[in-house]
Amino acid sequence: MSVCHCARAFVLCLFSASALAASPDGVVAVSHPAAAAAGARMLAQGGNAIDAAAAVQFALNVVEPQSSGIGGGGFMLVYLAKTGKTVVVDSRERAPANARADLFAPDGLPLPFAQASTSGIAIGVPGTLRGVDLALRRWGTKPLSATLAPAIELAGHGFRVNRFLAEDIVNDGGRTQLQPETAAIFRPGGVPLAEGDWLVQADLARTLKRIAAGGPDAFYRGPLARAIVQAQQRTRSELGEAGRGQMTLADLARYRPTVREPLIGHYRGWTLAGMPPPSSGGLTILQMLGMLERFPLGDPAQGYGFGSPKTLHLMIEAMRLAFADRAVWIGDDDFVPVPRKGLLNPAYLATRAALIQPERRMETPLASDPTPWDTVGSSSKPGLTRAESPHTTHFSIVDRWGNVVSYTSTIEATWGSGITVPGYGFLLNNELTDFNFLPAADTARGGANDPAPGKRPRSSMAPMLLFKDGRFVAAYGSPGGATIINSVLNVTLNLIDHGMTMQQAIAAPRLSVTHAAGKVSCEGGKDHMRPEISIASQDALRKLGHAGLGALGANGCNDTIGSVQAVATEPASGARSGAADVRREGTVIRVNP
């Protein structure tokens, strides 16, 4: 087993993998080394990518509890090498059966977000455990109990707190302080855990052992289920009964994940497989690519290329247009008709791309109507939505047989609702805040992203698979709330238009716009982010009227966007490699059978 403990060191592994004629290795790329080791352990024991993904997910509940866990949900994208088939396991959280469109506006006015998001009203029915179990039963080779073993050991014996967890405890927005059970774990004696502290989570270890012995029903039924229901009935005193969670034992018992077909798109001769609704990730990325394909982004001779003002301007405008459509049209299409064919129809995309002028910034774009290019329609209007948390986690795995998992999971905000289930040691999500806070639809049709019984809130998660001539090339994805979409777009453009290696594509600075109004976020100024987005390029964007970059002559690219973890296979030789992101403690481990 060969290990690269961080993204910087991985360059050496990349060259090593490239030298192999046909590597049979498995590779894991994860945001935390202990979770990467859990996945590698499954591969070393003869397991496949699905087994490894399960072990990684459970380990992340221990070492990245602020981002992911059994109290949340996610989307697993699975490529099965033997059949060439790609499937999606949708374990997104669901609204309780009692939820209504005015869930967050019971008196016609939206509840205060800070209070609502840390109350039981925000908690969706968790799906992660059911989703992982389904994937293991259908495509894995190991029992659930075996994949839980590394996480049980990590929780019971403990691990050293890294910089990212320590910073998230300090900068928690109060979420690790509101509930005594959460504070007891992460702020013992009132003192936040610091980098290097040893964290043991005995309650969580016992919970995972209970699940290993009893299977998912030990979570979704019985004493643990009752504890979840009781925990989400907590409310912030300012909200009173309006903040009390609506989940029941019946909601937990009836939860089932959904197996879906991936969304398939094409860009400059490459094929992409991504997330369908209820995630907006796949549709929004493919929309942007469809608009940008009309421009020579990779041609410096025409003034384009990485980081040029022309390229950055076009990316911003495509993001603004796609996010305007996203706000109106995308939701859980098990409940509302999402015009996915219309949104990706070349003729519709041509009308949107025609609004992009290379030398001029457009006024704030509105959503257009793709339904003439689709077989279904919707009467949705934009609702009052909230900024999504930059946390979540993503990992990618390829095994020795060529099976691949690209998996993004979350508890929504950093620390989710901040509510730890008493006696069981895991945090509950606040995923329902991804719904519209104000009902957006007329009474006849229902809003694309309004709450409804059993409905999944719109997501931005965008695990991605990239193919060339029918052969798997790469799997990647990112955390980051709505910026997930743009992180994946940046990496895709870097690979295809700018000819970067996977590690270069991940390390390069990113640009993001997540609203039609168009405030720009971008990265730069750090050693690992090369090539930089120059001051000259930033000034050119400022002169076009793009907001968010600050004053002329200054470096306005100071954000941190996403954390991409990727695996890749060289189609001709079969050599496998991975690439990790230094924005977190990204780790790649290659497993030799």
Catalytic residues: 392
- Please state the separation of Cα 473 from the chain's center in Å: 20
The Cα-based distances of 75 to 92, 281, 557 in angstroms read 7, 11, 30
* Residue 127, amino acid: G
Say how far apart CA 2 and CA 589 lie, in whole Å.
6
Q: What is the largest CA-CA distance in the chain?
A: 66
Q: Could you tell me how many residues make up the chain? A: 593
Phi/psi at 432 (5° precision): -70, -15
* Residue 149, amino acid: A
Nearest to 14 by CA among 507, 465, 511, 531: 507
Phi/psi at 271 (5° precision): -115, 135
Say how far apart CA 422 and CA 500 lie, in whole Å.
48
HSE of 383, CA atoms in CB hemisphere, 13 A: 33
What 3-state class would DSSP assign to 89?
strand
Q: Which two tokens stand for residue 262?
A: 């991936």
Point out which residues pair with 568 in neighbouring strands.
Answer: 474, 577
The Cα-based distances of 389 to 53, 207, 309, 415, 559 in angstroms read 23, 27, 29, 10, 14
Q: Taking the chain, what is the end-to-end CA distance rounded to the nearest angstrom?
A: 8
Say how far apart CA 245 and CA 362 lie, in whole Å.
43
Q: Which two tokens stand for residue 201?
A: 């989570």
Q: Which residues contact 561 (CB under 8 A, 6 or more apart)?
A: 480, 483, 486, 487, 510, 511, 512, 521, 522, 523, 583
- H or E stretch covering 587: strand 587-591
Say how far apart CA 223 and CA 227 lie, in whole Å.
6
Q: Which two tokens stand for residue 377?
A: 């329609």
The Cα-based distances of 101 to 33, 105, 380, 386, 441 in angstroms read 42, 8, 13, 16, 9
Residue with structure tokens 């219309």?
342
Nearest to 53 by CA among 282, 393, 392: 393
Q: What is the CA radius of gyration of the chain?
A: 22
Say how far apart CA 40 and CA 1 lie, in whole Å.
8
Say how far apart CA 430 and CA 71 lie, in whole Å.
9
Q: Which residues contact 462 (CB under 8 A, 6 or more apart)?
A: 274, 275, 279, 281, 282, 284, 285, 408, 477, 478, 484, 485, 488
The Cα-based distances of 474 to 404, 430, 585 in angstroms read 9, 31, 21
Phi/psi at 166 (5° precision): -60, -45
* Residue 258, amino acid: T
